Amino acid sequence: MHIELTEEQKLIQDTARDFARNQLEPVAAKLDQDKDRDTLLGNLKQLAELGFMGLNVKEEYGGSEAGVVAFSVAMTEIARACASTAVTVSVNNMVCEVIQAIGSEEQKQNYIPKICSGEYAAGSFGLTETCAGSDPSGMVTQAVRDGDHYVLNGSKIFITSAPYAGVFVVWAVTDKEAPKGKGISCFLVEAGTPGLLIGKEEEKMGQHASATNELIFQDCRVPASALMGKENDGFRIAVAELAGGRIGIGSLGLGVGLAAMDHASRYATERVQFGQKISNFQALQWMIADAYTELEAARLLLMNAACRKEQGRSFAKEASMAKLFATEAANRACYQAMQMLGGYGYTKDYPIERYARDARITTIYEGTSEIQRLIISREILRNLAA
């Protein structure tokens, strides 16, 4: 693994940082408060034009073909300014990657360029259900073959970007008699398809500008050509793609944690108590040292996972390690930052309370911290037994 970024990766990082500081940061608080969708969609369109919606996607499909490391560092910079924008970018990239990995040539040519160019503001994953969260193999949404079509019935919850997504990657049971997790298939469902309904939008603790909705399928007919990969092979696809998404969410968490500590550390150099700047007190110096050390360790874990994926090596365990550590470190950093600001940190006059709210979900979505620990320990024990 090369710790130093290449010139191309540095350019992508710098471009993401400049855009985040100039375009995202000035409107992040307003997006959080007002859920200003027009501003969000405008920023997403500009990010697409800069090449950030397909960073690990081949150029022939409209992607940047910059790799996984570039994706990770870009996600971190975008999240330092606006976590709501960053999560959309992360999901868009992963939707493009799953279509690139298992879609037919027609599916790749039809959908990936639309997401990469911004013609589609977003792509979405339809995986989670009320009784199938940490255990997606327990889903009950069904897809029944009917001639040259499949008919989908059921519902999905917590779907990022649902109201403005152009296409959904949806998992459904196609063989009810198969063993658990074996009879699931993966489909591409276009927005506006009859029978696909966008349900209520969740009122969340954080990441307010990113829409999170229920999807409802009521006799939703899709052509047989909407099937991605092989029938009844969808669960394996879901597991593989979730591993890649964990690099994105870990990088997002890192960005939020860095933003919180940067703000709090600057504040400490200005705030005066007991006749001196509070940055002179050892208690705060140790908070700063511990938080930045953990965040740097998170960056290195993310870099390792990203490098392994980019090189075509196994990376599931490393991605889980990186996601687990980075998101929990981000939450600790946000609460340390709030403590450093005292009462001000708890008010909306300062961005720390928003960072803390935005960071909280990162230990839950794309696999909870508890699930990451299961994956890590299972892989370690399997290798020891080999």
Do residues 357 and 283 touch, judged by C-beta distance below 8 A?
Answer: no
At the fourth CATH level, the homologous superfamily of domain 125-232 is: Butyryl-CoA Dehydrogenase, subunit A, domain 2 (2.40.110.10)
pLDDT at residue 242, rounded to an integer? 77
Phi, psi of 366 (to 5 degrees): 60, 30
Does 239-385 match 125-232 at the fold level?
Answer: no
- When the pLDDT of each residue in the chain is averaged and rounded to a whole number, the result is 96
The model's pLDDT over 202-230, given as tens digits with 9 standing for 90+, comes to 999 999 999 999 999 999 999 999 999 99
The residues carrying an active-site annotation are: 366
Statement: 7-120 belongs to CATH 3.30.1050.10? no
Can you name the CATH fold of 239-385?
Butyryl-CoA Dehydrogenase, subunit A; domain 3 (1.20.140)
Do residues 321 and 305 touch, judged by C-beta distance below 8 A?
Answer: yes
Give me 230's structure tokens: 């092989």
Residue 375 has pLDDT above 90, yes or no: yes
Q: What is the pTM of this model?
A: 0.96
The model's pLDDT over 146-185, given as tens digits with 9 standing for 90+, comes to 999 999 999 999 999 999 999 999 999 999 999 988 999 9
The model's pLDDT over 308-342, given as tens digits with 9 standing for 90+, comes to 999 999 999 999 999 999 999 999 999 999 999 99
DSSP state at residue 352:
H
DSSP string spanning 9-66? HHHHHHHHHHHIIIIIHHHHHHHHHH--HHHHHHHHHHHHHTTTT-TTS-GGGT----
Q: How confident is the model at residue 2 (pLDDT cuts 50, 70, 90)?
A: low
Do residues 77 and 38 touch, judged by C-beta distance below 8 A?
Answer: no
pLDDT at residue 234, rounded to an integer? 87
* Closest of 199, 173, 172 to residue 188, by C-alpha: 172
Q: From CA 178, how far away is CA 381, in angstroms rounded?
A: 28
Question: Per-domain residue ranges for the chain?
Answer: 7-120, 125-232, 239-385
Mean pLDDT computed over 366-379: 96
Longest dimension (CA), the chain: 80
